[in-house]
Structure 1
Amino acid sequence: MTSLRPAGTTLAGTYQLDHKVGEGGQAELWAARDLRGGDRVAVKLFKEISPRAARLAAREISILGDLPPNPYVVAVRDHGTEGVLLFLVMEWIEGRPLSSGSLHRPRLQRVQQWCEQICLGLAHCHRRGVFHRDVKPANVMITEADDAKLVDFGIARTLQSSLTAPGVPAGSPAYMAPERWLERGGDHRTDLYSLGCLMYELLTGEPPFGPWMGNANTDQLHNDHLYRPPVPPAAGFSGIPEAVDRLVMDLLAKDPRDRPQSADEVIARLGEIVRSAAGATIIDAEGRAATSPVPDVPHVEPGSLGELRNADAAVREALRRHGENHILTLEARADLAERIARSGDLDGALRAYDELIVDYQRVCGTYDPHTQQLIETRMMWMLRKVPPPK
């Protein structure tokens, strides 16, 4: 598809487009270079489309430009025009969208870390009357430091105004709150509902009512989000503490009044949930050991923290170099699953093995020796029979 501008174009005499990294209905996202200092930046180049879309683009620029800096919200550097096209210059985030291979039911501590950071970003926006309205995995970047950062405020609104056209609810159907389906503006609790959908997907592998498949299931998602109670995450997966399950279900309440009433409240509940029994040890958001009197959360032995961090890093590196379907990536994940089991977090390990076996079957085949060996290893751990080290 033809780009709005060719690679090498310089915008406002300052930002040189390098290569296109993404495209949506209203804009292209480019990797670019700030010629004044050589810094890498991201440029969102808005398409020359309808007057309403132009107003939306201008709105995003205004909203992001007015927000003070925050480590969990993408930073805006500049904006301007190139001919008839608007452009927005943002910090370059080295990392990956949460939607690209990161939703393989990560360990509970990582779910807690990412969701807390997303909430910190949302709380920063909400305190200034800005509501994102499209919180979903594709709009969360995971940095090289493994931190979550909110991006893409294309349909955000403020307390004062909204540019959503009548009869056209804006958002992503798999993550959209009931009030958005009813074409209401929504507020900070609308973002928290979408966060609940994202958290549900991190815990189970899918949003609460399944992914959006275009017009084929839009009506079904409309009815599900408005009327159907979601199946609790813990009903289908072991190793999800009751308090985590309860928080997700509270976030997914149909009536905004029944949800947590602020991102700060969610942060507080997450902080109380992801701690281990007295004297037990877990990995906190900074990779340090932490203890707490809550008895229902997986924990790991202190001596295994370094090994787990190294195994996590090896999986991320394999994903970056080889992609999620390569045998070397699967082997790195298998090594991580074994280390999780040997650390003492058996529920977490069984979750990792359950997902990994499905992927081995898909990539290698059900009767491949690698798949069969993994099934046998998972069974041994389930029976509390410790397999010999590899």
Structure 2
Amino acid sequence: MKHPERLGKYTVTSVLGEGAMGVVYKAFDPDIKRQVAIKTIRKQLIDDSPQAASVAARFRNEAQAAGRLHHPGIVAVYDYGEDRDRAFIAMEYVEGHSVAHYLGRKTKFPEQDILSIMVQLLDALEHAHDQGVWHRDIKPANLIITRHGKLKVADFGIARIDAVGLTQLNAVVGTPGYIAPEQYTGEPLDHRVDIWSAGVLLYQLLTGQMPFNGTPEALMYRILHEDPVRPSQHAGSTRPEYYDEVVAMALAKQPKQRYAGAPAFRDDLLARCSTPVSATVSEETVIMEVVRPESLLPSSGGPMGNSRGHLTPPISIGSAATAPTTAPPTHWNPATLQEVEATLARFVGPMAKVLVRRAARDCADLDTLRTKLAEHLQTEQERSTFFGQRLTSSGASAFRTTVSPQAPASAPAVVGGASRGAPLAALQLPPSAEFVERAQRLLAGQIGPIAKIIAKKAAAEATTRQQLIDRLVEQVEDGPARARLLDQLQRLP
């Protein structure tokens, strides 16, 4: 099909995705000087459809619902317009991936990321509910994790706007599996339909599975009459039992038995969990590998496709459970890595930090490191510019000290031909229980009692003493303190 060069005042620059009823474009706003995403719906298809009025109303409703919301966790809507061929919504241009993408890749979210996702979602829902807007289709495909780890709620196409509303407000609308019981029974609805859907999401993040499965008819029966398997009782589950009570409250059959609102859900979740909550999803989860596809992914889903349609070329996300650590490699001079990171960040943004740390583990010299990093750049011009940047650190100064040519990247530094720490062979041995305990005590001197938990987790993932050391020194932010800890750990017998 032929795509427009302009939509209203917006200059169309590319196609981000296509659905059954329309196209999502990337465009430029000449007044504000910013990139926007424009979701369109073709009038001809609306006119020819038996559900024309419903589809058109849902499209306009999205603009009205999201347009009255102003929250950093909600995709902003800027404008609504029409031309001869289509109606369109101009909205915030978001870079990232949907939670559905992560779940589809079998990502096992660590507890800190589950809490971050849920708290960010519930904060956004609190704002929407305060404005009289109920989303009614909270699901992983409508939740975007940006490249900076922030969560964005998208697609208010079937939202209920309190006191304004559309016709058939109590009709069964939404996505099977995320629909609250009262939406099936025709009872009056309120904001607690979103509490139910958020409970389904929490269950998925904990278990990787839906609480209810089956055909649409079977789903309806189970949602109305059955209780799901508790998250802690799933085969192989290591999730704490306190999540069972939170999920049960969110998925109560009767709305009055659920959390009264998003703040109550959030506060109870935080009160039961000992893990500190972060304002963002961790870098280790967001950035695992970078893929620059030649073509953009098409969107899929409902009449307009899902909210992935207005994302940039995606970052490919691997499993957080098996991803390599991003601790700073111990044999490199931190100043050198910071310079390389700053140079790379001009092209790839915040992901440069993780990419540099990962690549540096496998590279023994600066040229090899830069060559490896250049693979993540999209164009020949970017690669040429990247290689053309001069660094103040070079040669031997790129490392903490001179590294033995035969030593692997994880070898300890060598001064005057003698190892500063334990012999290289010892550092390649599996960490014994005694070694882990001594290492834990050293780390506790830097970060306190939490060192016990961190050391236990690191020991379960590390196959050598050096790998354990790398994971532990990552926990210390102060450069000199980190260097002292590294020296102490490498000297352990």
TM-score by length of 2: 0.57
Q: Deviations over 1:327-349 (max 9, x none)?
A: xx56x85244899xxxxxxxxxx
* 1:59-74 paired onto structure 2 within 5 Å: 59-67=61-69, 69-74=70-75
Distance 1:207 1:260 in 2: 20
Match of 1:334 among 295, 299, 322: 322
Instruction: Give the deviation of 1:286 after TM superposition.
Output: 4.1
**Matched AA of 1:34:** D
Bigger CA radius of gyration: 2
Are the structure 2 counterparts of residues 92 and 52 from structure 1 closer, same or farther at C-alpha, using a change threshold of 3 Å? Answer: same
Q: Look up the SS of the partner of 1:141 in the other structure.
A: strand
Are the structure 2 counterparts of residues 157 and 26 from structure 1 closer, same or farther at C-alpha, using a change threshold of 3 Å? Answer: farther
**Matched AA of 1:32:** A
**Corresponding residue for residue 56 of structure 2:** 54
Distance 1:322 1:93 in 2: 13
8 Å CA contact 1:104–1:202 kept in 2: the answer is no
**Matched AA of 1:44:** K
Instruction: Give the deviation of 1:155 after TM superposition.
Output: 0.2
Instruction: Give the deviation of 1:182 after TM superposition.
Output: 2.3
Distance 2:210 2:115 in 1: 17
Task: Structure 2 unaligned segments of length 5 or more: list them.
Answer: 47-51, 293-312, 328-429, 434-455, 468-493
Instruction: Give the deviation of 1:74 after TM superposition.
Output: 1.0
Instruction: Give the deviation of 1:261 after TM superposition.
Output: 0.6
Match of 1:155 among 154, 158, 162: 158
Instruction: Give the deviation of 1:154 after TM superposition.
Output: 0.2
Are the structure 2 counterparts of residues 185 and 163 from structure 1 closer, same or farther at C-alpha, using a change threshold of 3 Å? Answer: farther
Instruction: Give the deviation of 1:310 after TM superposition.
Output: 6.1
The answer to whether the aligner puts 1:267 opposite 2:270 as a matched pair is: no
Distance 2:464 2:176 in 1: 47
Instruction: Give the deviation of 1:88 after TM superposition.
Output: 0.7
**Corresponding residue for residue 198 of structure 2:** 195
Q: Deviations over 1:86-113 (max 9, x none)?
A: 2111111111111112562301110111
* 1:116-131 paired onto structure 2 within 5 Å: 116-131=119-134
**Corresponding residue for residue 285 of structure 1:** 278
8 Å CA contact 1:65–1:76 kept in 2: the answer is yes
* 1:85-164 paired onto structure 2 within 5 Å: 85-102=86-103, 104-163=107-166
Are the structure 2 counterparts of residues 313 and 256 from structure 1 closer, same or farther at C-alpha, using a change threshold of 3 Å? Answer: closer
Q: Look up the SS of the partner of 1:240 in the other structure.
A: coil
**Corresponding residue for residue 9 of structure 1:** 5
**Matched AA of 1:180:** Q
**Corresponding residue for residue 368 of structure 1:** none
Are the structure 2 counterparts of residues 185 and 98 from structure 1 closer, same or farther at C-alpha, using a change threshold of 3 Å? Answer: farther
Instruction: Give the deviation of 1:146 after TM superposition.
Output: 0.7
Instruction: Give the deviation of 1:46 after TM superposition.
Output: 2.0
**Corresponding residue for residue 255 of structure 2:** 256
The answer to whether the aligner puts 1:31 opposite 2:30 as a matched pair is: no
Q: Look up the SS of the partner of 1:19 in the other structure.
A: strand
**Corresponding residue for residue 232 of structure 1:** 230
Are the structure 2 counterparts of residues 386 and 220 from structure 1 closer, same or farther at C-alpha, using a change threshold of 3 Å? Answer: same
Match of 2:219 among 198, 218, 221: 221
8 Å CA contact 2:107–2:321 kept in 1: the answer is no
Are the structure 2 counterparts of residues 316 and 99 from structure 1 closer, same or farther at C-alpha, using a change threshold of 3 Å? Answer: farther
Q: Look up the SS of the partner of 2:177 in the other structure.
A: helix
Distance 1:232 1:333 in 2: 22
Q: Deviations over 1:218-273 (max 9, x none)?
A: 11111111111111111114321222221111111111111101101012112223
**Matched AA of 1:334:** T
Are the structure 2 counterparts of residues 266 and 388 from structure 1 closer, same or farther at C-alpha, using a change threshold of 3 Å? Answer: same
**Corresponding residue for residue 424 of structure 2:** none
Are the structure 2 counterparts of residues 385 and 161 from structure 1 closer, same or farther at C-alpha, using a change threshold of 3 Å? Answer: closer
Instruction: Give the deviation of 1:52 after TM superposition.
Output: 2.2
8 Å CA contact 2:24–2:40 kept in 1: the answer is yes
The alignment of Structure 1 onto Structure 2 pairs a total of residues equal to 309
Task: Structure 1 unaligned segments of length 5 or more: list them.
Answer: 277-281, 288-307, 340-376
Moved >6 Å (runs of 4+): 318-322, 380-386
Instruction: Give the deviation of 1:311 after TM superposition.
Output: 4.2
8 Å CA contact 1:7–1:19 kept in 2: the answer is no
The answer to whether the aligner puts 1:208 opposite 2:211 as a matched pair is: yes
Are the structure 2 counterparts of residues 227 and 386 from structure 1 closer, same or farther at C-alpha, using a change threshold of 3 Å? Answer: same
Distance 1:158 1:84 in 2: 28
Among the aligned pairs, what percent are the same residue? 29
Q: Deviations over 1:71-97 (max 9, x none)?
A: 111111111112152211111111111
8 Å CA contact 2:98–2:145 kept in 1: the answer is yes
**Matched AA of 1:265:** A
Q: Look up the SS of the partner of 2:137 in the other structure.
A: coil
Match of 1:315 among 288, 292, 316: 288
The answer to whether the aligner puts 1:40 opposite 2:35 as a matched pair is: yes
Are the structure 2 counterparts of residues 385 and 60 from structure 1 closer, same or farther at C-alpha, using a change threshold of 3 Å? Answer: closer
Distance 1:145 1:155 in 2: 28
Match of 1:174 among 170, 174, 177: 177
8 Å CA contact 1:98–1:138 kept in 2: the answer is yes
Are the structure 2 counterparts of residues 177 and 140 from structure 1 closer, same or farther at C-alpha, using a change threshold of 3 Å? Answer: same
**Matched AA of 1:80:** G
